[in-house]
Amino acid sequence: MQKKFAAIAIATALISGCASVPMESKEASARAKQFNPPSEGHSGLYVYRDSFVGKALKKDIWIDGKCIGESAPDVFFYEEVKGGQPHTISTESEFSPNDLTIQTLAGTNYFINQYIKLGVFVGGAGLERVDEKEGKEDIMKLALAKQGTCSK
């Protein structure tokens, strides 16, 4: 009975509540949603989270070992990186980081969806590259988070 109650409590915590992080201005968010080409020699990375599961969880996001910030539901980050080379996007998960490495081209924007998945003790996170059309549609419903410190 106690195990069943604990499992229900964990599941409820993962799908209820709502974490929040510091946000950029509405103007900055609107500028990022214009999806302009990145600056000369660079690629743009949009990393976002719009999953229903895990609304109470914040998860760190890193690009090439640099902390971008903690994600929360319905937010995105935008970061320019050098084009023409691979870049690793990472997120914390339940037991170890999850990484996604993509080869970028200068002048191109890329869209990475961070999704939350149920775990044994807490929710984990994963990353997947999505196509431009889907990424833009998803981003239009979200708000730009401030880049900042990660929890770890």
Domain that holds residue 8: 2-144
Structure tokens at 139: 């981003």
Task: Please check whether residue 149 lies inside any domain of the structure.
Answer: no
Top-confidence range, 4-13, 16-25, 38-47, 70-79: 38-47
Q: Per-residue confidence at 12, pLDDT binned at 50, 70, 90?
A: very low
List pLDDT tens digits, range 70-111: 998 999 999 999 999 999 999 987 666 789 999 999 999 999
Task: Please check whether residue 134 lies inside any domain of the structure.
Answer: yes
54 pLDDT above the threshold of 80? no
Read off φ and ψ for residue 76, nearest 5 degrees: -140, 160
**CATH code of the domain in which 61 resides:** 2.60.40.10
| CA dist list (Å): 33 to 19, 30, 36, 54, 74 | 23, 5, 8, 25, 14
pTM: 0.84
Q: Per-residue confidence at 33, pLDDT binned at 50, 70, 90?
A: very high
Read off φ and ψ for residue 27, nearest 5 degrees: -65, -45
Task: Please check whether residue 151 lies inside any domain of the structure.
Answer: no
Task: Please check whether residue 30 lies inside any domain of the structure.
Answer: yes
Query: Which pLDDT score, from 0 to 100, does residue 122 have?
Result: 67
CA 73 to chain centre: 9
Look at the chain and report how many structural domains it folds into. 1
Query: Which pLDDT score, from 0 to 100, does residue 137 have?
Result: 98
- Please name the residues in contact with 140: beta carbons below 8 A apart, sequence gap of 6 or more: 33
63 pLDDT above the threshold of 80? yes
Instruction: Report whether 47 contacts 68 (CB < 8 A).
Output: yes
Task: Please check whether residue 150 lies inside any domain of the structure.
Answer: no
